[in-house]
């Protein structure tokens, strides 16, 4: 993991197309602004993990359904 120190209004670049900027600092909270192409999904980690779990469930349901029809 790369750990960087940034101040208000400073940013980091990820590749050529993504910029993460510190837009506000309020106590123990930091607000980030993220500029990225529209084709790149950006989610908080907990939301990303929920999406992955739902996708996994959907895939398993599809496999179970296919197996059900194969048996007929």
At 42, is the pLDDT very low, low, confident or very high (cuts 50, 70, 90)? very high
Check whether 62 has a pLDDT greater than 70. Answer: no
In 3-state terms, the chain is what percent helix, strand and coil (to 5)?
Answer: 35, 30, 35
Question: pLDDT of 10-25, one tens digit each?
Answer: 999 999 999 999 999 9
Q: Whose CA is closest to 35, among 49, 54, 15, 51?
A: 15
H or E stretch at 31? strand 29-35
How much is the pTM? 0.70
- For residues 21 and 32, give the distance between their C-alpha atoms in angstroms, rounded to a whole number: 6
Q: Where are the domains of the chain?
A: 1-40, 41-72
């Amino acid at each position: 993991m790369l750990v960087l120190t940034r101040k208000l209004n400073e940013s980091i670049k990820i590749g050529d197309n993504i910029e993460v900027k510190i837009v506000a600092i309020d106590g123990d909270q930091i607000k980030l602004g993220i500029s990225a192409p529209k084709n790149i999904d950006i989610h908080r980690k907990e939301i990303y993990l929920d999406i992955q779990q739902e996708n996994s469930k959907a895939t398993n349901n599809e496999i179970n359904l296919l197996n059900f029809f194969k048996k007929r």
